[in-house]
Amino acid sequence: MSRRHLQLLTRLVGTAFVLSAAVRPLVSFDAGEPLLLAVEQGVLPARWTAETPDCAHASPFLVHEYNSTFFILRQSGCTNFEKPFLYLIVGSKEALLIDTGAPGASVSPVIEELLRRGSQRREASPLPLLVLHSHGHSDHTAGDAQFSRMSGVRVVAGTPDAVATFFRIKDWPREIAQYDLGDRVVDIVPIPGHQQGSIALYDRRSGILLTGDTLYPGRLYVRDSRAFIDSVDRLVEFTATRDVVHVLGAHIENTRTPYLDYPEGTTFQPDEHSLELGRAHLLELQDALRHMSDHLQRRSFRDFTIWPVVQ
């Protein structure tokens, strides 16, 4: 080896040493230590449907415990092709139900049972319940009457007026409201566009962002383009400074095959897309809307389709 080669090798080894010293804190990181210390973790199931259609034995709602205070319900396609997702979030003073499902199934006994089990676990009386809506369409509000009749339950209609009044929002849709369920603050972000009363809900404890029919793996029906574009911009801004663990919407219509959705009205979707999206999907949606400007067109992306609806 020539002296020149030796110098070169020394320089390279030296560089490698400096590099390894620089990354040492990361290398020595305890592999078992969770990276996201700020939020409560949970588990999502591998699938939300049975492998074979069996309506004779299907329960009207599949109930999944994401963790002990966050429940996800999926209405069975045997009861309604919309198969919406509902969310129950439990604080120390109050529980919050987002949406009451589509026609064809009785949801209140399922929620009552979950609250009863929670009260047994805490050895206390069942928590009062607040019912909100991702928006006011009938596939998310069909069970409202069941809850309105119950004591200890408040139902806020899925309209801008009702939501703004309840949360004392003076500047709809630009103002973001906070609500404390007891040791659990949720943020309510008005996002009209799919429907006037659309809201997103961010649960600070789990880091989960609920987006209703505004963003989910399926057909994003846009009824008011300008409002929708502005809402997505505000949601991007809102999430820029927050940990977003999952973006969970109210339906699944896409298959696992990129760009491909199930036809409208499909009741059994054995190869459906996962429910969970991430903030990257929100950025992809914003980017697509910006490119289309005010003239939205129907266009498929890998995990969702933008679908303007002519009023």
Residue ranges in contact with Zn ion by CB under 5 A: 137, 139, 213
Whole-number minimum distance, CB 75 to Zn ion, in Å? 11
Whole-number minimum distance, CB 194 to Zn ion, in Å? 6
Whole-number minimum distance, CB 84 to Zn ion, in Å? 6
Q: Which is nearer to Zn ion, 135 or 279 (CB)?
A: 135
Sign of CA dihedral 238, 244, 249, 252: positive
* Three-state secondary structure string covering 226-281: HHHHHHHHHHHHHHCCCCCCEEEECCCCEECCCCCECCCCCCCCCCECCCEECHHH
Q: Which is nearer to Zn ion, 115 or 282 (CB)?
A: 282
Q: Which is nearer to Zn ion, 83 or 281 (CB)?
A: 83
Question: Do the beta carbons of residue 73 and residue 61 sit within 8 Å?
Answer: yes
Q: Which is nearer to Zn ion, 69 or 269 (CB)?
A: 269
Q: Which is nearer to Zn ion, 69 or 75 (CB)?
A: 75
Measured distance CA(134)–CA(141) in Å, rounded = 9
Whole-number minimum distance, CB 64 to Zn ion, in Å? 19
Q: What is the DSSP string of 31-99?
A: TTS-S--SS------S-SS-SS--TTT--SEEEEEEETTEEEEEE-TTT-TT--EEEEEE-SS-EEEE-
Retrieve residue 227's tokens.
Answer: 């409002």
Whole-number minimum distance, CB 174 to Zn ion, in Å? 22
